[in-house]
Amino acid sequence: MFDNLTTEIRSFYSLQDLRDSVKEQISHYKTLAEEYSQWLGSFLRDLEPTHGREEWFKDVSALQRLQKRTGRKEEKKAGKEKATSPEWFPVKGIMLSASERGEVEILFDAIEEIKRKVEHLSRVNEAVEDLERLALGKEIIYVTYVHDGVPEKIVLRQQKEGEPSEKFKFTADFSVLKET
C-alpha cells in the first residue's frame, strides 16, 4: 500500500538500470497526479451547486485553474496559498476532518507533493545522465539510498573480483541433432 514511502538501499549494476528505475517512478507519479487532478475536478464540479458561492470554494476553484494553466512554482509566485480549514481536528498525531472541504484540501496536498517528487526525480534523472557522460566504466555498482521513492545518495563501488556483473545471469548451451 505504501510501497513508495520507504527508505531503502538498492544496488544498480548500471546507470541505465538506475535511470530506467527513475523514469518508471516519474511515469508512475505523473499518472497518479493526473488521476488525482481528475478526481479533484470531478469533486469540485459536484460541489459547485451546494458550495459554489462560498469563499473557500471560489478560492479552491481559482487555485485549481491556476494549477492547470501553470505549474507549482508559478502558483507560489502568484501568491495563491490555500489556508487550512478550521474543520480539522488532531487525534493522536493525525488530523481528521469530516468535511468536503477537507477532502479537497487533501487532494491538493497530494497533487502538490507528487509534483514536488516528479521535479526531484527529474533532477535525479538529469544527474544520472551527466554521470553516464563521464563513462565511469562497467565495473561499477551504484549503491543507492532511496528515501520516499526518490534516490538521494549514490555510492560508487568498484565491483569485486568474482562478483556477478548483473543481478541475474542465465547461460545455457543447446545442442540439436540433425536427422539424416
Q: Does residue 119 form part of some domain?
A: yes
pLDDT at residue 65, as a whole number: 59
pLDDT tens string 138-158: 788 999 999 988 999 999 998
Residue at 46 is within a domain: yes
In terms of residue numbers, what domain contains 75? 15-136
The pLDDT assigned to 58 comes to 60
pLDDT in tens, 10-59: 999 989 999 999 999 999 999 999 999 899 888 888 876 666 666 655 66
DSSP characters over 84-125: PPTT-EEETTEEE--SHHHHHHHHHHHHHHHHHHHHHHHHHH
Q: Hey, which residues does 140 pair with through a beta bridge?
A: 158
Q: Which of the pair, 90 or 163, is modelled with greater confidence?
A: 90
Q: Which three cell numbers stand for residue 40?
A: 479533484
Backbone angles phi, psi at 113, to 5 degrees: -65, -40
Q: What is the band of 76 on the pLDDT scale with cuts at 50, 70, 90? A: very low
Record the pTM. 0.69
Is residue 10 assigned to a domain?
no
